[in-house]
Amino acid sequence: MIGAATVLQTEELLPEGLDISFKIAPSVLVLGMLLLFLAIGYVFRVADTENMWVAGRSIGNVENGMAIGANWMSAASYLGMASLIALSGFYGLAFVVGWTTGYFILLIFMAAQLRRFGKYTAPDFVGDRFNSDSARAIAAVTTFLIGFVYAIGQARGMGLVGLYIFGDFGGVIPGLSGYQVMVVAMMTITVGYLTLSGMLGATKNMAVQYVILIVAFLAGLYLVGFTQGYSTVLPHLEYGTLITELGNEFSEPFTNESYYLWIATCFSLIVGTCGLPHVLVRFYTVESERTARWSTVWGLFFICLLYWSAPAFAAFGTDLFAENVGPVYGDPGMSSEAGDVIVVLAAQLAELPQWFVGLVAAGGIAAAIATTAGLFIAGSSAISHDLYTNIINPDATQRQQVLVGRLSIVALGVLTTLAALDPAAPIAALVSYAFSLAGAVLFPMFFLGMWWENTNRQGALAGMLTGLGIWSLAMINEVLPAYLSGSEAPLLSEWLATWVPAIGAALVAVPLVFAITIVVSMVTDEPPMETKRIVRQCHSPEPMGQQQTAEDVVTDGGTDETPADD
Amino acid sequence: MADNNSHDTDDGSNSSTNDAEVKADGGVASGSPARAHQNTDYLSSEVNLLNPSTQFMRDHLRLVWSGFAVWFVVVFGPVTLTRFAPDLMTTQIPMLGFPLHYFLVAIGGPTGALLLSFWYARKRDALDAKYGIDHAAVEETGRGDKGAAATDGGVDE
């Protein structure tokens, strides 16, 4: 087995230095974990739609904070971030900053207001706020696309980590390499689990998943640091002294990527955070707007626990790699596949017991599954709830809705698997494309829709199409060539790739979308009074009932007199 | 963006009726914030980020914008400084061993956002208290008394 593994390591998409073989203890650990998720999903299974989408609006502060954390921390946080820091040094920190600080913007501008608006999904918000089925459809398609693009990175992460745990099964499915077989297997498990349970099961699961992944990550960091003599009690600060040894590539600013790309990436990740449907949907599940605020604070704290640790893990991993495998930078240097498993690799190179390395790897799989679950739920609800029930078949029965929801989860799973068989970029970069999209299309709609009551249908449609256009252009320019011909060169123009990079397209798109939405809204008719009143209700400090939406309040009590004053 | 106003002059008039007088006070002279809150009809007050129309919204936005300003500096300050003063920013911090820019970005960024979030949530609770708004009633019973009135009036299914 070991002999075969060393030969295969020279092949594509096999991370060098990683011990690829079937390991019994880690396998039991991962399978046990997946069974646990399925059991929890089964116990909290749901049959009706209200429960499937928003868990009956009964989730509290800390639990929702953990769910925010687990939902948020995907393979991109768990594996991809350390990878980017190891490979691109200071540029990788743009991800650390973008993925945490975005929550503050979400908190001050959107969390509580969205809870007051009280609709199921992101497309629901757009459709109801702008009174337009076309807007709803565009948002639904965007949500679906986000789920798809985002999940490609997760599938890549699961595939690579799966190699460490289960070994190389290349050829078991004819024509597929070991990595590809693993992607198919892991995605099948994820989809199977998701079709069995809805959001309630998922929310319960997310708290469990958060605990598993944060314990695995922190334990990994502490043990690697301690056994290798890097750190004792606070590795998050102690890796500082290591930085000079790691070389200029690790800390020198702007040697790998320009200042502009740093800012573009960071900005995209921030606005993407505020526009991601699977993040926003977490605010519909809480009991009150105050809970929405505090669970954001809790969520950010839970997220920071990992984000403070990732750069330290990257530093330890990079140093161990240089010692045991070969030079990290230069030619050939560390491949992006090895980078993507640097967290697992660090634990393995530190010669920690196999079951423990397996635990670190299992944490990565938990992270990937938790996020994929959230994404697929958001994506499938966009299809079944927003496209199918609201537009195509308004008389759909509950049964039909749930069926369409499940079918779209399967469709997402198949699409993602196919795209992940030969992914175009490292995990974190793949995931960033989804952030660019959310930031460019959905964020301006939420922001303007909430904060300027005169934003209207025409403005929203023009704005969303602009955002979608800019993002698609950047993707076609940079990412499509990698799939078509495997080449790195931009398809359309080098200039476009420099100034509107796919990974940071929102920096250019957001101001443009804002401008277009505002100008078009101003030259066309104002939105109806009813809509304005709903927006006002979202900002009113008056508390609302747990099951109420802004629309209920406005239509129930407010047609001819003030609704909320005694 | 200031030209938003021109677009809604027609209904902007009624929205500014009840706050011209409460604005100047800071909540002491012409009535307590709680009174202002009770006298405000939020559903008739325009929502415009750049032109808040109720006393509550003004107070809230003051909070939001101060937080945003600090946040902006925390997030984009260090990296921009690094771009323009690389020598200064890459000096090593004594004891910790981090280059300054690395420390401010990798640890300063997330920590700054977390502290700011905590600060905002606290301040926002304080703001609710100042205006006599109580979320506990809603959380305990599942709906506030006012919510109940509105719901009972309107629920038919």
CA A433-B74-B66 angle, to 5 degrees, is 110
**A434/A80 Cα distance (integer angstroms):** 14
Asked whether residue A43 carries a pLDDT value surpassing 80, the answer given is no
Query: Among A341, A390, A320, which Cα is nearest to A126's?
Result: A390
Query: Dihedral of the CA atoms A109, A114, A116, A121 (nearest 10)?
Result: 180
Q: Which two tokens stand for residue B96?
A: 């910790």
**A438/A431 Cα distance (integer angstroms):** 11
Compute and round to an integer the Cα radius of gyration of chain A. 23
B32 vs A501 pLDDT, higher one: A501
Q: State residue A139's pLDDT score.
A: 93
Query: Among A96, A350, A147, which Cα is nearest to A229's?
Result: A350
Asked whether residue A456 carries a pLDDT value surpassing 80, the answer given is yes
Give per-residue pLDDT as tens, B24-57.
Answer: 444 443 457 877 887 778 887 888 888 888 888 8
Q: Contact, A342 vs A16, CB < 8 A?
A: no
Query: Among A302, A346, A342, A14, which Cα is nearest to A159's?
Result: A14
DSSP letter for A527, please. P
The pLDDT of A451-470, averaged and rounded, is 94
Give per-residue pLDDT as tens, A549-562.
Answer: 788 777 764 443 33
What confidence tier does A130 reach under pLDDT thresholds 50, 70, 90?
very high
Give per-residue pLDDT as tens, B69-113.
Answer: 999 999 999 999 989 988 888 888 887 888 888 999 999 999 999
The pLDDT of A206-234, averaged and rounded, is 89
Asked whether residue A58 carries a pLDDT value surpassing 80, the answer given is no
Query: Among A90, A191, A74, A102, which Cα is nearest to A427's?
Result: A74
What confidence tier does B142 reach under pLDDT thresholds 50, 70, 90?
very low
Which of A75-89, A140-154, B56-70, B139-153 is predicted with the least confidence, judged by mean pLDDT? B139-153
The pLDDT of A141-156, averaged and rounded, is 92
Q: How far is CA A113 from CA A277, B108, B132, in A?
A: 15, 28, 19
Rounded to 10 deg, the angle between the A550-557 and A529-539 helix axes is 120
What confidence tier does A50 reach under pLDDT thresholds 50, 70, 90?
low
Asked whether residue B153 carries a pLDDT value surpassing 70, the answer given is no
Q: State residue A183's pLDDT score.
A: 93
Q: Name chain B contacts of A553, Cβ cutoff 8 Å.
A: 147, 150
What confidence tier does A198 reach under pLDDT thresholds 50, 70, 90?
low
**B20/B4 Cα distance (integer angstroms):** 19
Burial A450-479 (b: 16+ CB within 10 A, else e): bbbbbbbbbbbbbbbbbbbebbbbbbebbb
Phi and psi dihedrals of A320, rounded to 5?
Answer: -65, -40
Give per-residue pLDDT as tens, A251-297.
Answer: 788 877 889 999 999 999 999 999 887 777 777 767 778 888 898 99
CA A192-A193-A199 angle, to 5 degrees, is 130
What confidence tier does A346 reach under pLDDT thresholds 50, 70, 90?
very high
The closest CB to that of B42, out of A536, A543, A566, belongs to A536
Amino acid at A539: H
Please judge whether A308 and B111 are an interchain contact, meaning their C-beta atoms are less than 8 angstroms apart: yes
Q: State residue A115's pLDDT score.
A: 84
Q: State residue A120's pLDDT score.
A: 63
Residues 284-303 of A with CB under 8 A from B: 287-291, 293-294, 296-297, 300-301, 303
Query: Among A70, A50, A376, A303, which Cα is nearest to A206's?
Result: A70
Compute and round to an integer the Cα radius of gyration of chain B. 22
Which of A136-145, A190-199, A355-364, A534-543 is predicted with the least confidence, judged by mean pLDDT? A190-199
**B123/B64 Cα distance (integer angstroms):** 10
Asked whether residue A358 carries a pLDDT value surpassing 50, the answer given is yes
Give per-residue pLDDT as tens, A386-433.
Answer: 889 888 888 888 888 888 988 899 999 999 999 999 887 889 888 999
Name, in order, each residue with C-beta under 8 angstroms of A30's C-beta and a sequence gap of 6 or more. Answer: A165, A358, A361, A362, A365
**B140/B55 Cα distance (integer angstroms):** 28
Q: State residue A289's pLDDT score.
A: 82
Name, in order, each residue with C-beta under 8 angstroms of A440's C-beta and a sequence gap of 6 or more. Answer: A271, A467, A468, A470, A471, A505, A506, A509, A510, A513
Residues 36-95 of B with CB under 8 A from A: 37-38, 41-49, 56-57, 60, 63-64, 67-68, 71, 74-76, 79-80, 82-83, 86, 89-90, 92-93
Which of A52-61, A400-409, B5-14, B86-95 is predicted with the least confidence, judged by mean pLDDT? B5-14
Asked whether residue A95 carries a pLDDT value surpassing 90, the answer given is yes
Q: Name the helix (H) or strand (E) containing A183.
A: helix A178-196
Q: State residue A89's pLDDT score.
A: 86
Q: State residue B65's pLDDT score.
A: 95
Q: Name the helix (H) or strand (E) containing A39.
A: helix A24-43
CA closest to B143 among chain A residues: A545
Q: Name chain A contacts of B82, Cβ cutoff 8 Å.
A: 253-254
Residues 129-148 of B with CB under 8 A from A: 131, 133-135, 137-139, 142-144, 146-148
**A72/A441 Cα distance (integer angstroms):** 20
Name, in order, each residue with C-beta under 8 angstroms of A24's C-beta and a sequence gap of 6 or more. Answer: none
Mean pLDDT, chain A, whole residue set:
84
Q: State residue B140's pLDDT score.
A: 46
Please judge whether A537 and B42 are an interchain contact, meaning their C-beta atoms are less than 8 angstroms apart: yes
Q: Name chain B contacts of A105, Cβ cutoff 8 Å.
A: 68, 71
Asked whether residue B23 carries a pLDDT value surpassing 60, the answer given is no
**A296/A118 Cα distance (integer angstroms):** 17
Q: State residue A99's pLDDT score.
A: 93
Query: Among A224, A204, A182, A189, which Cα is nearest to A356's?
Result: A224
**pLDDT > 70: what percent of chain A?**
90
The pLDDT of A509-527, averaged and rounded, is 95
Chain B interface disruption, residue of A258, A268, A290, most B CBs within 10 A: A290
> How many cross-chain Cβ pairs, A to B, lie less than 8 Å apart?
234
**Is B117 in the A-facing interface, judged by CB distances under 8 Å?**
yes
Q: Name chain B contacts of A241, Cβ cutoff 8 Å.
A: 96-97
Which of A342-346, A405-409, A495-499, A559-563 is predicted with the least confidence, judged by mean pLDDT? A559-563
**A543/A272 Cα distance (integer angstroms):** 29
Please judge whether A287 and B153 are an interchain contact, meaning their C-beta atoms are less than 8 angstroms apart: no
Q: State residue A46's pLDDT score.
A: 56
User: What pTM did the predictor assign?
Assistant: 0.86
Asked whether residue B66 carries a pLDDT value surpassing 90, the answer given is yes
Phi and psi dihedrals of B92, rounded to 5?
Answer: -80, 140
**B133/B130 Cα distance (integer angstroms):** 8
Chain B interface disruption, residue of A97, A237, A302, A561, most B CBs within 10 A: A97
Residues 96-115 of A with CB under 8 A from B: 96-97, 100-101, 103-105, 107-109
What confidence tier does A478 reach under pLDDT thresholds 50, 70, 90?
confident
**Is A252 in the B-facing interface, judged by CB distances under 8 Å?**
yes
Q: B99 - beta bridge partners?
A: B92
The closest CB to that of B106, out of A288, A311, A562, belongs to A311
Q: 């505002």: which residue's tokens?
A: A518
Query: Among A496, A11, A74, which Cα is nearest to A276's?
Result: A74
Phi and psi dihedrals of B99, rounded to 5?
Answer: -65, 145
Q: State residue B73's pLDDT score.
A: 95
Name, in order, each residue with C-beta under 8 angstroms of A379's C-beta and a sequence gap of 6 or more. Answer: A143, A144, A146, A147, A148, A277, A408, A409, A412
Amino acid at A261: L
